[in-house]
């Protein structure tokens, strides 16, 4: 299967049906097919050779979907750039993948120009915006207008689809090589859950460079549903798009759900709208609190909630917590706080450091095997060999499994704190701290300690208008968890650093403490 197959099929079956709605513009399958074939033609004219990497640095747009289809159509390899990275990180990824063409939008045209000047491999920068084309760049629309459409080369199977760089927040990013098979299996597995059917209207709320959104894009192209493009997520823009476009499916981080609920509360007009057309909300990156879930169920009464756990190396698919576990019964059973069970294209185990499966209830590392496991890290055979062993992807995530196969993620192994020879799981400490009435958000990290090796350190965001002292919070924890797990120090901040998909960036919190030292974990 190749990524363009769904497009071919829907052009054949219903060329005049709408496939994309973006900023008031509607695009049909036939139009998309024309634009994709012309983009591919333009890339070939610009000298694209089979297997060349083409990068895109852009907010979500209909042109992002054209890029996702047009580059493989021409025989190229995708390199969707994380827009949150520093110039140095982006430059590293462009050089590492020998990317020859960079496509930028209005938001990133200056950044793109600066990066391209420093790049060793970029030959062309294409401006895919709506204003005047900056000097030194080619106009995306002019290229399309002038190009001859070319035939789809139909790369497929284990061919390289794209390099999805990950981990940019810690050292330099790793280029995760994803094949057509990887993406197709991950997407079909989601479709088998009943997501993204032919009559679905999906909101691209997450950034398109992220493989989670990319996988949904692929699934939707298979079934022929409608892509609603949201260039920039806020609680308000998301709710407005859902109401206007009658969105049926969403993929969100819990923080994004919270932002939507906040926006609804803040705006009486939004508060009046009934959002009862939503069918499925898949959320990822972290479990949902029962309070947030209750509020979300009230705001979106028709929605079924699903939690996904995964990572780029798994083409995002690891476990899923099904809708039926989002209820009072499984709040009590605790299953609602698990990450669910292995998705249906993988095998998943919890293993010790020797790779042996541990007994149920014992914490170990999550390893996953399946057709969605990446080909490897680009140019990093050692790093690849370290995580891909006997076909099993070693995720670096610590978890235990219950008797029914539900996976409870305890911690990133690298977030585990070793203090005085004891393992402290930051998630457990955070859970204790969260129950303090004044705590809005918190994060627990290990910081260097002469005495203990690492000491438990907490970063706390207080609720608006509430207060609590360091001592009060530590005492609160003492009532709930063992003394050695309680924070030795507490720091108050106005906010926590989050990634583009709402994941807490603990490395940023740790960095000032560990500058020039090694923690001994990757």
Place of tokens 């207080």: 462
Of the residues 110, 269, 294, 347, which one makes contact with a second copy according to CB under 8 A: 347
Of the residues 33, 168, 370, 396, which one makes contact with a second copy according to CB under 8 A: 370
Is the Cβ of residue 184 or residue 393 nearer to a second copy in the bound state?
Answer: 184
Sequence-distant (6+) residues with CB within 8 A of 367 are: 348, 349, 350, 351, 355, 392, 393, 394, 395
Beta strands (DSSP E) in 75-222 are 77-80, 101-104, 124-127, 138-139, 160-166, 174-179, 201-204
The piece of 6-14, 43-51, 115-123, 287-295 that touches a second copy (CB under 8 A) is 6-14
- 189: contact with a second copy by CB under 8 A: yes
Strand partners of residue 79: 55
Cβ of residue 162: shortest distance to a second copy, in angstroms? 18
Of the residues 8, 331, 488, 519, which one makes contact with a second copy according to CB under 8 A: 8
Cβ of residue 230: shortest distance to a second copy, in angstroms? 26
Binding residues among 100-159 for a second copy as defined by CB under 8 A: 154, 156-158
Q: How many residues interact with a second copy (rule CB under 8 A)?
A: 36
The piece of 182-190, 233-241, 250-258, 299-307 that touches a second copy (CB under 8 A) is 182-190
Is the Cβ of residue 255 or residue 395 nearer to a second copy in the bound state?
Answer: 395
d(CA 340, CA 308): 8
Of the residues 81, 252, 260, 342, which one makes contact with a second copy according to CB under 8 A: 342
Cβ of residue 308: shortest distance to a second copy, in angstroms? 17
Q: Rg of the chain's alpha carbons, rounded to an integer?
A: 23
d(CA 213, CA 316): 10
Sequence-distant (6+) residues with CB within 8 A of 260 are: 235, 238, 239, 252, 299
- DSSP code, position 299: H
- 72: contact with a second copy by CB under 8 A: no
Cβ of residue 371: shortest distance to a second copy, in angstroms? 5
Place of tokens 């499984």: 330
The piece of 134-142, 400-408, 420-428, 486-494 that touches a second copy (CB under 8 A) is 400-408
Please check whether residue 165 is in contact with residue 174, taking contact to mean a CB–CB distance below 8 angstroms: yes
- 405: contact with a second copy by CB under 8 A: yes
- The per-residue DSSP string of 62-115 comes to HHHHHHHHHHHHHT-EEEEPPTTS-HHHHHHHHHHTT--EEEE-STTHHHHHHH
Binding residues among 233-292 for a second copy as defined by CB under 8 A: none
Is the Cβ of residue 152 or residue 454 nearer to a second copy in the bound state?
Answer: 152
Sequence-distant (6+) residues with CB within 8 A of 493 are: 459, 460, 461
Cβ of residue 353: shortest distance to a second copy, in angstroms? 21
- 5: contact with a second copy by CB under 8 A: yes
φ, ψ of residue 62 to 5 degrees: the values are -65, -25
For a second copy, the binding residues (CB under 8 A) are: 1, 5-6, 8-9, 12-14, 154, 156-158, 181, 184-185, 188-189, 191-192, 194, 222-223, 341-342, 344-348, 369-371, 391, 401, 404-405
């Amino acid at each position: 299967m190749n990524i363009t197959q769904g497009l071919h099929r829907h052009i054949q079956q219903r060329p005049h049906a709408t496939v994309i709605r973006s900023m008031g513009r509607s695009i049909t399958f036939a139009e998309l097919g024309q634009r994709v074939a012309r983009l591919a033609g333009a890339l070939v004219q610009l000298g694209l050779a089979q297997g060349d990497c083409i990068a895109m640095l852009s907010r979500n747009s209909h042109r992002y979907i054209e890029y996702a289809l047009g580059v493989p159509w021409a025989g190229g390899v995708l390199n969707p750039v994380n827009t949150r990275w520093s110039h140095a990180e982006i430059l590293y990824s462009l050089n590492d993948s020998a990317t020859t063409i960079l496509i930028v939008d209005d938001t990133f045209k200056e950044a793109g120009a600066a990066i391209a000047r420093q790049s060793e491999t970029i030959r062309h920068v294409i401006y895919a915006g709506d204003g005047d084309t900056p000097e030194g760049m080619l106009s995306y629309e002019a290229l399309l207008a002038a190009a001859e459409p070319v035939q789809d080369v139909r790369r497929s199977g284990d061919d390289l689809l794209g390099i999805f760089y990950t981990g940019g927040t810690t050292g330099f990013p790793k280029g995760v090589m994803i094949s057509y098979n990887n993406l197709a299996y991950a997407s079909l597995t989601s479709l088998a859950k009943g997501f993204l059917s032919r009559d679905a209207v999906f909101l691209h709320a997450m950034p398109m460079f992220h493989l989670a959104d990319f996988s949904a894009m692929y699934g939707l192209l298979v079934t022929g549903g409608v892509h609603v493009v949201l260039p920039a997520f806020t609680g308000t823009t998301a709710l407005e798009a859902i109401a206007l476009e009658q969105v049926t499916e969403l993929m969100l981080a819990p923080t994004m759900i919270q932002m939507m609920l906040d926006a609804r509360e803040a705006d009486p007009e939004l508060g009046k709208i009934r959002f009862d057309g939503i069918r499925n909300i898949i959320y990822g990156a972290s479990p949902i609190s029962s309070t947030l879930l209750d509020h979300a169920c009230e705001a979106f009464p028709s929605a079924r909630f699903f939690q996904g756990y995964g990572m780029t190396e798994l083409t995002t698919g690891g476990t899923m917590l099904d809708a039926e576990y989002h209820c009072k019964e499984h709040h009590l059973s605790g299953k609602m706080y698990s990450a669910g069970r292995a998705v249906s294209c993988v095998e998943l185990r919890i293993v010790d450091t020797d790779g042996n499966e541990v007994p149920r209830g014992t914490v170990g590392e999550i390893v996953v095997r399946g057709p969605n496991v990446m080909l490897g890290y680009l140019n990093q055979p050692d790093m690849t060999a370290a995580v891909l062993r006997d076909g099993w992807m070693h995720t670096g995530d610590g978890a235990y499994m219950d008797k029914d196969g539900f996976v409870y993620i305890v911690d990133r192994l690298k977030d585990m704190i070793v203090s005085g020879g004891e393992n402290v799981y930051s998630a457990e400490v955070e859970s204790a701290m969260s129950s303090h009435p004044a705590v809005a958000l918190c994060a627990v990290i290990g910081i260097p300690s002469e005495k203990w090796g690492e000491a438990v350190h907490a970063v706390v965001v207080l609720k608006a208008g509430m207060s609590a002292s360091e001592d009060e919070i530590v005492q609160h924890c003492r009532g709930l968890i063992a003394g050695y797990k309680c924070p030795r120090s507490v720091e108050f901040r106005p906010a926590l650093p989050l990634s583009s998909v709402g994941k807490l960036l603990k490395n940023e919190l740790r960095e000032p403490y560990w500058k020039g030292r090694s923690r001994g974990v990757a």
